Structure 1
């Protein structure tokens, strides 16, 4: 069973940074939680590593145009759940690799935003739900955890962040990861499910518009709620919550 079922509404306002691989990843995975955070006064910001320019069925698609479309869709989806700050790193969709460049870029965003909590993908493959384990997801999750520890907090790591960008070291005390094989924390999103679905539907270029899809998503979150021991009729999103102090 989860260690908690709330989105920490009772805490003093905190800064949250969500780092995801593609436009729409946060909405499918965590928009219900984000909506609860922003409603409670927490400052939530997004960092999206790619522009999602490989998210098309037609290989002749104008990828630059699709990237611009997907950026706009993500900004629209963010606004639905109360997020105004969206950063895009512009890495190539489908070819993200964990490495020093990505670690540095994520550490830069962490030092700029100075979050109390970072939410990202799991770096671990889920062999039951393989779509959550897209290679870009796992690469981003691994890079984010490396950026949290040790890069962002180590004043000697990536000295250009301090000397050129003026960004001092910052320690992130808590990370939530989603899409992995293990969870220990569930957030009841029953009351924000409608906002989650509206955010998903903002990604017009990617589908997710049908009533059947909404029922599929509802069933998925209801199953997570049952696993967490919540009453019938509740919906939740699930994470692995990690103390990174």
Structure 2
């Protein structure tokens, strides 16, 4: 499994409990962080290189909490990411290198329901480039021939999951890993400087998972839009009713 995130901390906020569940079940998970995180601070006088080094170390620490095998940083400038051939090539290279069955990444569409932070322009650009890298670039032997020349053969990703927002059709039961998600988020200490109670600051994350759990019939769940890369164009059968204890398709809430 490959998690493609725009910033240090995005993977934990969006996917952390799912990542922990999948690593517990034996999946090998790699993080791919696109930006250097250099705009993720409140002190404009702090040298960018100091903040970047701190955020990279925080990301490694958070990944360890969740059982992530490796963290790769691409180092694109924070706040300036665009859906470009350069980014698509970089993502294609890593998909071919790590050869995941499943990619988790950002939704490429702006949400008008969720808080505006979910639609950070870096998130939208990374989501769009990641989906383009999955299909067609990573599987196409004629896309980015320089990557093929590096010995990285084409690879087909079976599925992509993006945060559900308005399009939820998959809920994952994370009752056993919700606490590790919160612990991993709090490893990003630079994002809570000056907070009297960082745990209270992320209570909204827990509340959202609890609401998803109510739909699925468990305590906590994370919500996704599931993309099967080789699915037929015609609509499939009606999804089964939610059942407690696993990840199952559900109607969008």
TM-score (norm 2): 0.86
Specify which structure has the bigger relative contact order, considering alpha-carbon pairs within 8 angstroms and separated by 6 or more residues: 1
CA distance in 2, matches of 1:59, 1:25: 22
CA distance in 2, matches of 1:155, 1:211: 47
| Counterparts of residues 35-54 of structure 1 (less than 5 Å) | 35-54=20-39
The correspondence for 1:221, drawn from 202, 206, 209, is 209
Gaps of 5+ in 2: 231-253
Contact map agreement 2:170 2:226 (CA 8 A) in 1:
yes
CA distance in 2, matches of 1:210, 1:78: 19
Relative distance call for 1:108 and 1:31 in structure 2 (3 A) is same
CA distance in 2, matches of 1:217, 1:178: 13
After superposition, the C-alpha distances for 1:189-235 in whole angstroms (9 at most, x for unaligned) are 12101110110111000118523234332212111222x3324xx11
| Aligned residue pairs, count | 226
- What SS does structure 1 have at the residue aligned with 2:179? helix
Contact map agreement 2:87 2:129 (CA 8 A) in 1:
yes
The correspondence for 2:140, drawn from 154, 158, 162, is 154
Relative distance call for 1:77 and 1:224 in structure 2 (3 A) is same
TM-score (norm 1): 0.89
Aligned to 1:7: none
- What SS does structure 1 have at the residue aligned with 2:166? coil
Deviation at 1:179, TM superposition (A): 5.8
Contact map agreement 1:124 1:181 (CA 8 A) in 2:
no
CA distance in 2, matches of 1:31, 1:87: 17
Deviation at 1:84, TM superposition (A): 2.4
Contact map agreement 1:22 1:48 (CA 8 A) in 2:
yes
Does residue 82 of structure 1 match 2:70? Answer: no
| Counterparts of residues 1-245 of structure 1 (less than 5 Å) | 16-129=1-114, 130-163=116-149, 165-178=150-163, 180-207=165-192, 210-226=198-214, 228-231=215-218, 234-245=219-230
